[in-house]
Structure 1
Amino acid sequence: MKAEPIASGAGVGESPDPRIEARADTHLMRSLLVGIFVLMIVYALYFGRAFFMPVILAFLLALTLTPIVRFLRKHGVPDVVSASFLVLLSVCFVAIAGYLLSGPVIDLINNSSSIGLQLTERLDQLRRPFERIMEISHQLEGLMATSQDAGVQRVALAPSGILSQAADNLLSAATSITIVFVLSLFLLASGTMFYEKIIQSFASLSEKKRALRVVYDVEREISYYLLTVSVINAGLGTVTGLGLWALGMPNPLVWGAAAALLNFLPYVGPLITITLITIIALISFDTIPYALLAPAFVLLCVIIEGQFVTPMAVGRRLEINAVAIFIAIAFWSWLWGFIGALMAVPLLVVIKVFCDHFDGLSHVGNFLAAQHMAVIEEDDTTDTGPAKG
């Protein structure tokens, strides 16, 4: 009895479809190209930070001030006039703040060693259980100092080298600040020019309307978020400074400005502020319980701002999950230092809002969203789904 031939395409040893292999190769090649492109962007941002940093700061500043320009435009004020006034006001604010804060900040930096000694003496009554560890630490410090004095050569920069390096850094900072304010002025004064360019880039009327709607929504949401968060942080800094002044804290203006600036770093910034205020309070007040009132007040302000004020003003839809925030802060601080860390969350919000407006990038926006937002979206999808018979 002869075996029946196996039907074509149904055998175990059937060769794979060439079209499937071609699609798999194409997908792999596309993934590799995307990875290479991302690495090239990171490489360019790292080595071109002297150019990209002020440019991105200018765009963020322009987006922050755009709602004010739009409001004044509705009341008959030309964009050029409102933009010039707002940028000039920003320059004056930065200059006055820098002048008022420079003296106390320089004093804190110069007195950092004495602050450390005073803090050590102040906490002497709290470190009795660790006296043995401290003795070992002092012995190790003595050994290290002896070895340094005996055989380690200390390298010092010549005064001329220090002066030239300081001059270069000052010139670079002045150039970056000038680029930020001048470019933000041009962006604010341009009005609807970018919208007109976007409309001209598409052929059909439906595509023009869709592109204009997406760009306008993204710009409106981001500008509203940045302006609202900036106002909230300024209010937090004002309340913090006044409260610390009432408690008798030295340099309350510095700590109010630090609270406002560092609050752009969620979780990390307030922790740094509370730690610094705790250190200064411990060496400034006579009793430890009274010294702890200052950081406790700052902690109360941060909790009220983070749990009530910002969610009510900004809304839950623009909240970012904590993991994405920490990754963004770590990445941008590695890339551009402290300025990059301050821009991390605003840039993350920009990316999330942009991804939410495009179906192909919606999964990225969903990943960046807070956990409760993802649950709400899933519940809405379930409730609005087709009813089963």
Structure 2
Amino acid sequence: MHLSFKNLFFTIASVFGIFAILILAKPVLIPLAFAFLVAFILFPVCQKFEAWGANKIFAAFLSMLSLFLIIAGGLFLFSTQIIDLSENLTEFKEKILEIFTDLTLFINQNFSFVPELERGELLEKIKSGLSNSVGTLVGQTFSGTAAFFTGLITSIVFTFLILIYRDGLVNALVQFFPENHQDKAHKMFKSVQQVGQQYLFGMFIIVLVLGFTNSIGLLIIGIDNPFLFGFLAAILAIIPYAGTLIGAAIPVLYAFMSYDSLWMPISIALFFWVVQFFESNLLTPKIVGGNLKVNAFTSILSIIVGASVWGVAGMILFLPFSAMLKVVCQEYIELKPLALLIGEKNYTDSEKDDKPGLLKKWGEKIKGWF
């Protein structure tokens, strides 16, 4: 074995260069990344409209309009519950402040950080401090909202352009490869698109299944606004690990603040734990399939790296892009060890991981429709 310090240096320099580009070009790359993922979902829909006689521009417009109508319909269904929840925010905030005050007094009585600390005085100081920080909070909220809508509009424009120029983009990328490898390159890009599409469709189905499961379970438990909390937790589950924890913590905290009985938050926490167990061990492997999954180490690493580079957007995006990176690495002999590190087959002897998931089987059946 020989270690080439020259190749090692160029490898490390390339990694640092990639991260520098990801950080510096974040305002452009994040909307572009989301646009590619949305375009993967809308690609078969766009093809269907084109098969019916629409040109590429009109087909792309109809595809995006269909997506907007679905999202708007979902928001309309939950609008009543959102309004009811917002009306209770004032009372909810008061309860949080009282609990925080009581907790502070309890700690101070046992450890005596501040002598003669009164509950009423402490509560007024906390409210006064919150009032003084409202201006800063409003400014940060306005800045964050403006950045969010700017990124959203940019993603919409990028998605529309990708759907229109998708053939030209693929052909242009293929031209970077030698002529004798262009067919393989075209197949590689097609595989990347299919992996991204299958992954995203799988996540969409999982969100629907989890949303209805969570909502029915919360409805049986008896919490207010069960469908809002149920689908909110399902949508947050898109963020691996952390999203599931946050999605469960929101209804648990709401139940703890709104109900006198401790059984309500405890039962909700147990319910979400059971749902998470079946989702991780049964639902996701069956729907997505082992071929599209990355191992736990890569998943956690992609979340940490994504959060440090792009924040919440990175936590969402880096995991599906890791699955796509695995497909690219499989096409190169030098990068196949990296594909083994990312994938899951190298870490299990079970043959079931080589079987396609239900989503892939369904995709093969409905492929002719588009």
Instruction: State the 1:183 CA deviation.
Output: 0.8
Structure 1 residues 365, 298: CA separation in 2 closer, same or farther (over 3 Å shift)? Answer: same
Structure 2 partner of 1:114: 94
Structure 2 partner of 1:140: 113
TM-superposition CA deviations, 1:275-302 (whole Å, max 9, x none): 3322222333343334433233333332
Structure-1 separation of matches of 2:172 and 2:288: 30
SS in 1 for 2:223: coil
TM-superposition CA deviations, 1:39-64 (whole Å, max 9, x none): 23222322332222111111121123
Structure 1 partner of 2:331: 357
Structure 2 partner of 1:281: 255
Structure 1 partner of 2:32: 55
* Contact 1:329–1:344 under 8 Å retained in 2: yes
Structure 1 partner of 2:360: none
Structure 2 partner of 1:330: 304
Structure 1 residues 155, 133: CA separation in 2 closer, same or farther (over 3 Å shift)? Answer: closer
Task: Select between 253-262 and 181-190 the one with higher mean Cα deviation.
Answer: 253-262
Between Structure 1 and Structure 2, how many residues are aligned?
343
Could you tell me which amino acid in structure 1 is paired with residue 61 of structure 2? S
| Greater C-alpha radius of gyration | 1
Could you tell me which amino acid in structure 1 is paired with residue 225 of structure 2? N
Residue 231 of structure 1 pairs with residue 208 of structure 2: no
2:10 pairs with one of 33, 56, 66: 33
* Contact 1:317–1:373 under 8 Å retained in 2: no
SS in 2 for 1:313: helix
Instruction: State the 1:67 CA deviation.
Output: 3.8
* Contact 1:73–1:79 under 8 Å retained in 2: yes
Could you tell me which amino acid in structure 2 is paired with residue 140 of structure 1? F
Instruction: State the 1:72 CA deviation.
Output: 5.2
Gaps of 5+ in 1: 1-19, 381-389
* Contact 1:233–1:261 under 8 Å retained in 2: yes
Structure-2 separation of matches of 1:238 and 1:277: 15
Structure-2 separation of matches of 1:45 and 1:259: 29
Structure 1 residues 368, 112: CA separation in 2 closer, same or farther (over 3 Å shift)? Answer: farther
Structure-1 separation of matches of 2:58 and 2:219: 38
Structure 1 residues 105, 60: CA separation in 2 closer, same or farther (over 3 Å shift)? Answer: farther
Aligned ranges for residues 7-46 of structure 1 at < 5 Å? 27-46=4-23
Structure-2 separation of matches of 1:64 and 1:363: 30
Instruction: State the 1:103 CA deviation.
Output: 4.8
Structure-2 separation of matches of 1:112 and 1:142: 30
Structure-1 separation of matches of 2:225 and 2:250: 12
* Contact 1:195–1:212 under 8 Å retained in 2: yes
Cα RMSD between the aligned structures? 4.0
Structure-2 separation of matches of 1:86 and 1:32: 46
Aligned ranges for residues 285-364 of structure 1 at < 5 Å? 285-364=259-338
Structure 1 partner of 2:363: none
Task: Select between 55-64 and 237-246 the one with higher mean Cα deviation.
Answer: 237-246
